Structure 1
Amino acid sequence: MVIVPTAISAWYLWTRAVDQYVSTVGFSIRKEDSAPSIDFLGGLTQFAGGSTASDTDILYDFLQSEDIVARIDAAVDLRGKFSKEWPNDPIFAYDPNGTIENLTRHWKRQVDVLYDTTTRLITLRVSAYTPEDALAIANATFEESSRTINRLSDVARDDATRFTRNELARAQEKLTTARQALTAFRMRTQIVDPTADLEGQMGILNSLQAALAETLIELDTLRENATDRDQRVIQTEKKVDAIRNRISEEREKFSASSEGPGGENYAELMAEYEKLSSDMLFDQTAYRSARAAHDIAQAEAQRQSRYLAAHIEPKLAEASLVPNRPYLLACVFGALLLGWSVMLLIYYSVRDRR
Structure 2
Amino acid sequence: MLLSFFGTVLLPAVLTALYLWLVAADQYASRVGFTVRQEDAASAIELIGGLSSLSSSSSSDTDILYEFIQSQKLVSDIDGKIDLHAIWTPAERDPVFGLAENASIEQLLAYWGRMVRISYSAGLIEVEVRAFEPGDATRIAQNLLDESSEVINELSAVARADAISYARDELDEAVERLKEARSTVTRFRNENQIIDPQIDLQSQAGLLGNLQAQEAEQIIELDLLRETSQQNDPRVAQAERRLEVIRARISAERQKLGFEGSGQAGRVFADLVGDYERLSVDREFAERAYLSALGAYDTALADAKRKSRYLAAYMQPTSAETAEYPQRVTLLMVVTLFLFLLWSTAVLVVYSVKDRR
Length-normalised TM-score, structure 2: 0.62
- 1:81 paired residue among 71, 76, 87: 87
The number of equivalent residue pairs is: 324
User: How far apart, in 1, do the equivalents of 2:347 and 2:158 lie?
Assistant: 61
Equivalent position to 1:274, from 274, 277, 296: 277
TM-aligned CA distance change 1:79 to 1:210, over 3 Å: farther
User: Structure 1 residue 113 and structure 2 residue 99: aligned?
Assistant: no
- Candidates 13, 17, 20, aligned match of 2:27: 20
Provide the aligned C-alpha RMSD in A: 5.5
Distance 1:133 1:190 in 2: 84
Conservation of the 8 A alpha-carbon contact between 1:19 and 1:322: yes
State the AA in 2 paired with 1:22: A
Whether the 8 Å contact between 2:31 and 2:129 is mirrored in structure 1 is yes
Q: Identify the structure with bigger relative contact order (alpha carbons < 8 Å, sequence gap 6+).
A: 2
Per the TM alignment, residue 346 of structure 1 is displaced from its structure 2 partner at its CA by 3.3
Q: Distance in 1 between matches of 2:147 and 2:167?
A: 31
Map residues 236-247 of structure 1 onto 2, 5 A cutoff: 246-247=249-250
Aligned to 2:53: none
Alpha-carbon separation, structure 2, partners of 1:236 and 1:77? 115
Helix, strand or coil at the partner of 1:271: helix
Query: Does the alignment pair 1:350 with 2:356?
Result: no
Q: Which structure 2 residues correspond to residues 200-349 of structure 1 after superposition, within 5 A?
A: 200-206=203-209, 246-255=249-258, 256-258=261-263, 263-281=266-284, 308-349=311-352
Counterpart contact for 2:117–2:127, Cα < 8 Å: yes
Task: Say whether the 8 Å CA contact 1:24–1:126 is kept in structure 2.
Answer: yes
CA contact (8 A) 1:86 1:93 kept: no
1:138 is displaced (CA, Å) by 1.5
The two structures have a TM-score, normalised by structure 1, of 0.63
User: Post-superposition shift, 1:158?
Assistant: 11
Deviation of the 1:21 alpha carbon:
1.9
Residue 199 of structure 2: which of 179, 196, 200 is its match?
A: 196
C-alpha distance in 1 between matches for 2:207 and 2:123: 80
Structure 2: where are the runs of 5+ without partners? 1-6, 41-55, 303-307
Does 2:97 correspond to 1:92?
yes
8 A Cα contact 1:127 1:134, kept in partner: yes
